[in-house]
Structure 1
Amino acid sequence: MYLFVWLKRITWLVVFYFLLRFLFLFFNIKSFQFADAQQISYAFLYGLKFDLSAIFISNILFTIASLLPFKFIEKQSYQNSLKYIYWIPNIIFFWTNIADFEYYKFIGRRTIFEIFGIMGDVFAQSFSLLSSYWYLIVLWGIVSFLFVRFTPNKKQADVLPRFNLPVGIIVWLLAIGFTILFFRGGFQEKPLRINQAFEQHDNHLGNLTLNTTFTFLTTIDAKGTEKVSYFTDNKAVERLISRDRSSHFEKTTTPPNIVVIILESFGKEYMGYKNPYKGYTPFLDSLAKKSVFMENCFANGRESIIAMPSITAAIPQLIEEPFITSSYQSNKFVGLGTIMKQFGYTTSFFHGARNGSMGFEGFSQLAGFDKYYGINEYPKDKYKTDFDQNWGIFDEPYLEYFAQELTKEKNPFVGCVFTLSSHHPYPIPSKYKGRFPKGKAEIHESLGYTDLSLKHFFSEAAKQPWFANTLFIITADHTQFNTEPIYATPTGAYRVPLILFHADNAKLNEIKQKVDTLKVCQHTDILPTILDFLHISQNQVLPFGESIFAQNTGKAFQLNSGVFRFISKFPNHQSIEYLEMGIDGKAKFFDLKAKEIKVNDGEEKTFTEQIKAYIQFYRNGLIENSWSKN
């Protein structure tokens, strides 16, 4: 029996998962700059529980095959085949962990199974990704070589005298039982889950505790299909999630146009306006100064595919898988395009990437947009010079194209555009190389290019007949690298700009008078804000969004690695705070610097019940397909 060999190889894996966690910390050291040695040590120690869970479940076939109580396993050919059963799966999972050394910087969490929903985009960019992150491949090769080269092998002393068959079967079954036990994380009623890694209530430390093997394997069947029953009375849920749907603007005789600009990765951190440093976006700063600038706007997630439904349909992410890639994307819901067509608007969505990229084309149709403009629709005679050799069309020519196409639209119209040059690998046309500040992170130079492209867009748009009667809404899909300490917090990683601009000063002043620019808002508030401005009923909008003109302190939702976040300004408190809650309903409260705060029992009940009501409405509504009654 080869019990000792099996135990040594399992222990060998524990060593490598420790090494991978150390390397993850090394590559993302800026994310942990506020954590002290004790907190990091605890993350490593507690992470052993998740490592053992991942190791035992990913090696279940090796366990079953290694300890079979039959004589044929002693054959050298069989023992050789066992090595490959041991090596191949673990080397593959080593890669998922190593890939997260860099991918984590983009999405702010460990990779989960939903990555397969965007594999088409990953494959399309495989050459670019490999050329940019070749060192990860080299590192993977080194780690794999060390793993294989020094794998513990059988020694004579390791081989126990053969048990009789009944005893061998018992040992084999016990090993399988221990595999299940370690995978579950113990004898507790509920198995080990991702959100249990966040005992220190810090996204970064929680993700240091986790490993990607665990998050990947435990989300294979995570489709958000489990109903929750925090409340038995649906009327209580409806009361708790009710939003202000009143109108704050009068209907105009000439319906205004709406232009929504979604800037790739433009975190609020990167601006100079309202920050104590210069920033990388001089034009956006100048535009924000003469616009309505919401200082406390939060993205609903850290990925573009989360921003798309949040902005155009008021659908945040309250299950682990993004709505666009989930099995629920065909559920009934009402998007911006659908509503606006009811009032005579033409609607279009522009994204200069390959058609089908990120699922945007399909979702835009579900959200009711008349037309989708991807790379296939871009003028063929300009494609060769304007293609960035990576994702799609450079921002400057594409935004110029966007302005020209809007001029062809029948008024009134809604036009949305999603930029892409500030996406990795951050391409910049050769004529602009060296023009923009390099900054502290690779993305910073490309922000300067997109900012200039935005300036040229507004110059072009100002020449068009529709410009003077258009409300421009500018935001970012998500943030990216945090290089400034004031943003290196759980909530700082979600802060994005939200700017409302109108060329008509009288209309702009009216907007300014009706809004509190310090209130909390989020991506899901953009759709109801547009409807409010146009004096269109908001009753079809899901309750996850509310007009920024509503006279209250506002709120924002997020979900990261199994932890729900609810950001608001609590009554009787002077500052914005947030609560974090697992699916088990246990909540803690924090200020925006992630310092735990105390609230009274009434406040705890009020805000915990609210987030529970939103979760119940979201999840149960998905399963029952009951969001929309139309």
Structure 2
Amino acid sequence: MKESITLVFKRFLFVFGFYFVLRFIFFTYNIENYRNIDNAEILSAFLLGIRFDISAIIKLNGIFFLIWLMPLRIFNYGIAAKLIRFLFYSVNILFFILNLVDSELINFTGQRLTVNFFTITKDIDNQLSQLIRYYWFIALMCLLFIFVFVKYFPVKKESYLYDTRKTGFYVYVASTLVTIFLFGLGARGGLQNKPLRPAHAFRYSHSELGNLVLNSTFTLLKMSGVGEQKKVIFIDEKEMLANLLRDRKNHFSKWSKHQNVVIFIMESFALEFISGANSENGYTPFFIN
């Protein structure tokens, strides 16, 4: 039982190490964007990124970790175990590649990868060979990641025995529940009021640091369930133009005094616009947080 939990944490840390390397590659590949930023802020972004990495890893691999926590030989030996590992390899390698591709793609989109990327996959298919030749470094890194991930992935040894009697059934249940709780907490991103969101990464004065904090796996998983907003027509266009272009002189002349009305047009009421997520005053410091 102890070996099962230990192995799950080893596999988690193994994947976590890859995400640390992915962030370092993202940073070095786009180093020009960070030359004028204080080193302390960059270090802070790396540390904050740990929360997003943990959340992304658990959300992506939670089902695999739960399966491996079960003290059953079928999930670690034989055909079933090989099939589970193959699926685990496939899912994680796919997202490793997407993170590596995003190191270059962000220079065109200005943001981390989202589901909108898959709307241009047809164009990518048509130019795949050309893209591989031009961005050979990324292609090489993808191959290296695949080799290292498959080669050094922690595998359970045959000497491990699944016998809960060695530590006691209740100890096994308690340990498993604690492990599941920790993974659930990690997937949520911590004990804050709301689960971790991409907006929580942009607490710095430079938006580039927000992109450094995030990883493409997190943004893809977080935004995958967000549907495209539909355009809502509240008033007919002709009626709207008629109201805007009508003569208003007689209307205003009836007022006894001049009105002091100020209209604010904002992009949104997101935290970064009302200083709730900023160390600075924010764009609208006169709004109540």
- Shared fold (TM-score greater than 0.5)? yes
Secondary structure of the 1:34 match is coil
How far, CA to CA, are the matches of 2:243 and 2:98 in structure 1? 43
Could you say which residue in structure 2 is the equivalent of 1:39? 41
Report the equivalent of 1:59. Answer: 61
1:95–1:537 CA distance, 2 compared to 1 (3 A): farther
Contact 1:69/1:165 (<8 A) preserved: no
Other structure's SS at 2:164 match? coil
In structure 1, how many angstroms separate the alpha carbons of the residues matched to 2:264 and 2:58? 41
For residue 112 of structure 2, what is the aligned residue in structure 1? 110
CA deviation vs aligned residue, 1:272-317 (integer Å, no higher than 9, x gap): xxxxxxxxxxxxxxxxxxxxxxxxxxxxxxxxxxxxxxxxxxxxxx
CA contact (8 A) 1:110 1:211 kept: yes
Contact kept, 8 Å, 1:5 with 1:158, in 2: the verdict is: no
Partner Cα distance (2:197, 2:145) in 1 = 27
SS at match of 1:187: coil
Given residue 581 of structure 1, which amino acid in structure 2 is its aligned partner?
F
Distance in 2, Cα, partners of 1:41 & 1:159: 43
CA distance in structure 1 between the partners assigned to 2:130 and 2:60 by the alignment: 30
CA distance in 2, matches of 1:176, 1:587: 30
After superposition, the CA RMSD in angstroms is: 3.5
Q: How does 1:365-376 map to 2 (within 5 A)?
A: none
Q: Does 1:332 align with 2:233?
A: yes
Do structure 1's residue 586 and structure 2's residue 267 form an aligned pair? Answer: no
Structure 2: distance between partners of 1:119 and 1:95:
14
1:49 Cα deviation after fit: 0.9
Contact 2:45 2:213 in 1 (8 A): yes
CA distance in 2, matches of 1:201, 1:207: 12
Structure 1 contact 68–169 (Cα < 8 Å) conserved: no
1:604 aligns with 2:285: yes
Distance in 2 (CA, whole Å) between partners of 1:139 and 1:22 is: 13
Q: What is residue 30 of structure 2 aligned with on the other side?
A: 28
Following superposition, the deviation at residue 129 of structure 1 comes to 3.5
Whether contact under 8 Å (1:51, 1:211) holds in the other structure is: yes
The answer on 1:192 being equivalent to 2:93 is: no
Structure 2 partner of 1:425 = none
Looking at structure 1, the residues matched to 229 and 282 of structure 2 have their Cα atoms a distance apart, in angstroms, of 39
Instruction: Quote the Cα distance in structure 1 between the aligned partners of 2:243 and 2:210.
Output: 38
Structure 1 partner of 2:212: 208
TM-superposed CA distance for 1:65, in Å, is 1.4
Residue 121 of structure 1 deviates from its aligned partner by: 4.3
**Mapped partners of 1:190, 1:203: distance in 2:** 22
Q: For 1:132, which of 120, 134, 143 is the aligned residue?
A: 134
- CA pair 588-167 structure 1, distance change in 2 beyond 3 A: closer
How far 1:169 sits from its partner (Å)?
4.7
Which residue identity does 2:26 align to in structure 1?
Answer: F
Counterpart Cα distance in 2 of 1:597 and 1:85: 47
Q: Tell me the alpha carbon deviations over residues 191-221 of structure 1, each in whole angstroms, 9 at most, x when there is no partner.
A: 0111111222321111111111111101111
Amino acid at match of 1:332: I
Q: Any idea what SS the aligned residue of 1:218 has?
A: helix
**Cα deviation per residue 1:304-348 (whole Å; 9 max; x = unaligned)?**
xxxxxxxxxxxxxxxxxxxxxx2414x3278xxx96xx7xxxxxx
Name the CA distance, whole Å, in 1 between partners of 2:264 and 2:134: 38
- Written as runs of structure 1 = structure 2, the 5 A alignment for 1:87-166 is 87-155=89-157, 161-163=163-165
Whose strand proportion is higher, 1 or 2?
1
**Counterpart of 1:604 in structure 2: which amino acid?**
P
Say which of 176, 180, 186 aligns to 2:180.
Answer: 176
CA contact (8 A) 1:563 1:581 kept: yes
Q: Distance in 2 between matches of 1:79 and 1:28?
A: 39
**Equivalent residue letter for 1:93:** F
CA offsets, 1:354-376, max 9 Å, x none?
xxxxxxxxxxxxxxxxxxxxxxx
Cα deviation for residue 157 of structure 1 reads: 7.8
Residue of structure 2 equivalent to 1:218: 222
User: Which amino acid in 1 is paired with 2:38?
Assistant: D
13 and 563 in structure 1: CA distance in 2 versus 1, 3 angstrom threshold: farther
Q: Which letter does structure 2 place at the counterpart of 1:25? A: F
CA distance in 1, matches of 2:76, 2:278: 55
- Structure 2 matches for 1:229-628, cutoff 5 A? 326-329=228-231, 331-332=232-233, 539=244, 580-581=272-273, 586=276, 588=278, 596=280, 604-605=285-286, 608=287
SS at match of 2:55: helix
Amino acid at match of 2:77: K
Q: Cα distance, 1:556 vs. partner?
A: 8.3
SS state at 1:328 partner: coil
CA 202–333 in structure 1, closer or farther in 2 if over 3 Å, else same = farther
Q: Render the CA deviation track for 1:248-282: whole Å, top value 9, x for unaligned.
A: xxxxxxxxxxxxxxxxxxxxxxxxxxxxxxxxxxx
> Per-residue displacement from partner, 1:434-464 (whole Å, max 9, x unpaired)?
xxxxxxxxxxxxxxxxxxxxxxxxxxxxxxx
Whether the 8 Å contact between 2:45 and 2:209 is mirrored in structure 1 is: yes
Question: Which residue in 1 is equivalent to 2:258?
Answer: none
Displacement of 1:10 in angstroms is: 0.6
- How many residues end up aligned between the 2 structures? 266
What is the SS of the residue equivalent to 1:63? helix
Report the Cα distance in structure 2 between the residues aligned to 1:200 and 1:188, rounded to whole angstroms.
19
TM-score by length of 1: 0.38
Give me the whole-angstrom Cα distance separating, in 2, the residues matched to 1:597 and 1:172: 45
For the residues of structure 1 that align with 2:13 and 2:21, how far apart are their CA atoms?
13
Within 2, Cα distance between the matches of 1:209 and 1:556? Answer: 29
- The equivalent residue for 1:402 is none
Report the identity percentage. 29
What SS does the corresponding residue of 1:586 show, helix, strand or coil? coil
SS in 1 for 2:285: helix
- Segments of structure 1 that go 5 or more residues without pairing to the other structure are 224-325, 343-535, 541-553, 565-579, 590-595, 613-630
Q: Given the superposition, is the C-alpha separation of residues 208 and 155 from structure 1 closer, same or farther in structure 2, using an over 3 Å criterion?
A: same
Using the alignment, how far apart are the partners of 1:50 and 1:587 within structure 2?
16
Check conservation: 2:273, 2:282, Cα contact below 8 A: no
